Amino acid sequence: MRGRPRALLARAAVAHGAVDAIQAWLERLGPASYAIFVGITVLGTATIVPSGLLCAVGGLVFGWLGLPLGIAGALIGGLISFTLARRLSRERLAGVTARYPLLGALDTSLSEQGWRVIMLLRLTPVLPFYVGSYFFGATRVRPAAFLIGTLFGVLPSATLYTYVGTLGQTTLHGVGAGALVLPAIGIVCGVVAVVLVGRGARASLMHGVAAQPAGGSSA
């Protein structure tokens, strides 16, 4: 039992040293470090890397500057996935929606309400970020609506994860436990807020889809 605290302290020291080394390297790179992080976020959000993890890393390394950098990378990566799906999968989805009325109603809702439906879907944990991007690209939604809906949809969770990252940065720099009480309460409140917003978004989304006639045409 006595060995566990020592092991944890040793791991924390290693993590602290690693973060300090990365930050020092990024400081030497200057503004190029921002482009590197955005590029990593673009690749991550276009594949299977969770967008929340990338935001937390951005908060850990860059502080609150990681929030706009992470969102910019997510928008670019999402747009790449959206464009690929639009060129490769739109005709296939048209055949699927003809066989499954619920998907047809969702496709119609996306084409008519655009960014609002995308925002609601982004606010709910139904689809991973990259899956949602490919799915939206295969629908009739416009690219501008995709970007606007994604921006407002990921902002709450991206802010929360970035905050967690900044808290980790503060912890690694030796702040006392008492100073972490208010940030910890902030995280709990943030999680509750995101969950409540997600539930409300899910209810609004299902209501909107149910209101669409099966196989209805877009305006």
Instruction: Report pLDDT for 199.
Output: 59
Amino acid letter, residue 195: V
CB within 8 Å of 51: residues ≥ 6 apart: 41, 44, 45, 70, 74, 129, 154, 157, 158
Owner of token pair 């990259």: 130
Report the pLDDT averaged over residues 29-42: 90
Q: Which residue has the higher pLDDT, 9 or 215?
A: 215
Instruction: Indicate if the pLDDT at residue 43 is higher than 90.
Output: yes
Reported as a single tens digit per residue, the pLDDT across 138-168 is 888 899 999 999 999 899 889 988 988 888 7
- Gyration radius from the chain CA atoms: 20
Reported as a single tens digit per residue, the pLDDT across 44-102 is 998 888 888 899 989 988 889 999 999 999 999 999 999 998 888 766 666 665 665 66
Of the pLDDT bands very low, low, confident and very high (cuts 50, 70, 90), residue 10 is very low
> With contact defined as beta carbons under 8 Å apart, do 60 and 164 qualify?
no
C-beta atoms surrounding 203 within 10 Å: 12
Instruction: Report pLDDT for 77.
Output: 95
C-beta atoms surrounding 199 within 10 Å: 12
Of the pLDDT bands very low, low, confident and very high (cuts 50, 70, 90), residue 181 is low
Q: Which residue has the higher pLDDT, 169 or 17?
A: 169
> With contact defined as beta carbons under 8 Å apart, do 80 and 46 qualify?
yes
Of the pLDDT bands very low, low, confident and very high (cuts 50, 70, 90), residue 207 is low
Instruction: Report pLDDT for 35.
Output: 93
